Amino acid sequence: MPLPSDDVQRLYEAILGDVEGLTRRILDAIRTEIPPYQEFPYDIHYADNVVNLTMQLRSLASGDEPSPEAAEHARAMARTRVGMDLPLAQAIAGYHVGFRELWKEVVQRAGEDAALQSQLPLEVERIWGWFHLVSSAYAEEFVLTSRTRALSRADALRRLVAGTGEDLSVAQLETTAAELGFDLGTPFRSFVTAQHPREVLDRLDIGFSDHADATSAVSVGGHCVVVTQQCSVPAGVARLRAAGVRGCIAVGLSRRGVTGIRDSYVDGLRLLELPDDGSDVREFESEWPLTLLNSERERMRELLEPGVVVAAENPHLAQVVVAFAENEYSISATARALHIHPNTARYRITRWEELTGWNLFTVRGLLSSVAALQNGRSGLAPGGPDRARP
């Protein structure tokens, strides 16, 4: 920058003499107009801006470009604000307020001096250029530090979600959870979906950023996982949908202790392994019996094969079994649900018992029947002799 006139130099030196007062006025404007700054520590905010404004005024008075020290100071400010979760947009807005207030100070001090006023158009360009270069250094460092921090947090969360006890002790997991801001006395819940593009994970970060009891999303083994605390199922599902998550959302059980993070994640995995029934949301709390049956389907193949075969050949009988289980084991309620006569419902239940040997009015018979139907939906192929149709 060209060396300013003696009058302009004296103007900047006069402002520099009141740098602390001007800094307080600028901070009052920033903290009034940009609410997130009200939570930012005032002493840090003040100290940073006194140094920043002092270097700026000295550069303007001497006609120098922003020094490497000024750029590094801006980068240090960015690292501090990332650590305190101050958004980049709010910080850049703070630079704009600072530019406005400094320019107001320059205009006020120039007063009615015609010689000074004639030089102000050049000065506004110089002041704005200084702000632009320094705020650009700030923004570059903010993005770099934020990405590094996000990757570090993602790695930490991934250890909590997928760690095995052989990798980290419970004490180490608790330390990691505390560093991520979790309250170890509050239950954890995982929301699990199929993997989504990076931009969806980024939107999830933003969607949960205003929720004090949630952490960012992370990809684990081909799935997208969000771990929350004190976030209701409807609220969590709504945030995932708003971020662009499509397909079934599996909701793990709310579990206590740091190991509950992984357990709730596994709940979600088991739900996603179930046969697709078109559900938008599946909750472990209500569907845990199906996950147990599904996980043991190979071991139960021969035991459940009679029901699988009968259901495949007689879907109308299987339909009655399902309706019977879902209607409090009432023949009349089953008939109403299927829009058939009670005698027809009773006949089909009897026919199911004849073909399978399982009495639906006993615990063993009902559980075997439901398990067989679940295994049949999982793709268990019949392997026994042909069965007669009713």
Select the more confidently predicted residue: 372 or 250: 250
pLDDT above 50 for 342: yes
Query: What's the pLDDT score for residue 255?
Result: 94
Q: Contact 145/85 with Cβ under 8 angstroms?
A: no
Query: What's the pLDDT score for residue 379?
Result: 39
Q: Which of 277, 301, 259 is closest to 377 using CA atoms? A: 277
Of 76-85, 244-253, 370-379, the range with the highest mean pLDDT is: 244-253
Average pLDDT along the chain: 85
Burial 127-152 (b: 16+ CB within 10 A, else e): beebbeebbebbbebbeebbeeebee
Q: Contact 185/121 with Cβ under 8 angstroms?
A: no
Q: Which of 71, 77, 69, 72 is closest to 49 using CA atoms? A: 77
pLDDT above 80 for 197: no
pLDDT above 90 for 18: yes
> For 314-319, what is the mean pLDDT?
93
pLDDT > 70 fraction of the chain, expressed in percent and rounded: 90
Three-class SS state of 188: strand
Quote the tokens at residue 330: 């009432």
- Cα–Cα distances (Å) from 190 to 142, 204, 249, in that order, read 30, 14, 10
pLDDT above 90 for 252: yes
Quote the tokens at residue 313: 């050949």
Quote the tokens at residue 178: 């505390």
pLDDT in tens, 258-302: 899 999 999 999 999 888 878 899 999 988 888 887 787 788 888
> Token pair 């609410």 is at which residue?
35
Q: Which of 152-161, 186-195, 233-242 is predicted with the least confidence, judged by mean pLDDT?
A: 152-161
122 half-sphere exposure, CB direction, 13 A CA radius: 13
Q: Which DSSP string do the residues of 21-57 spell out, in sequence order?
A: HHHHHHHHHHHHH-GGGGGS-HHHHHHHHHHHHHHHH
What's 251's DSSP letter? E
Query: What's the pLDDT score for residue 177?
Result: 85
**pTM value?**
0.57
Query: What's the pLDDT score for residue 175?
Result: 84
Query: What's the pLDDT score for residue 54?
Result: 94
pLDDT above 70 for 59: yes
> For 2-14, what is the mean pLDDT?
87
Q: Contact 286/208 with Cβ under 8 angstroms?
A: no
Which long-range contacts link 66-74 to residues 24+ away (Cβ below 8 Å)? Answer: 66/130, 66/133, 66/134, 70/134, 71/133, 71/134, 71/137, 72/137, 73/48, 74/134, 74/135, 74/137, 74/138, 74/141
- C-alpha 19/C-alpha 94 separation (Å) is 17
Quote the tokens at residue 223: 């799935």
pLDDT in tens, 129-168: 888 889 999 999 988 887 777 667 778 888 888 864 456 6
Query: What's the pLDDT score for residue 189?
Result: 93
- The angle subtended at Cα 235 by Cα 233 and Cα 241, nearest 5°, is 100
pLDDT in tens, 215-231: 677 888 889 999 998 88
> For 114-123, what is the mean pLDDT?
85
> For 75-83, what is the mean pLDDT?
90
Residues in the chain: 390
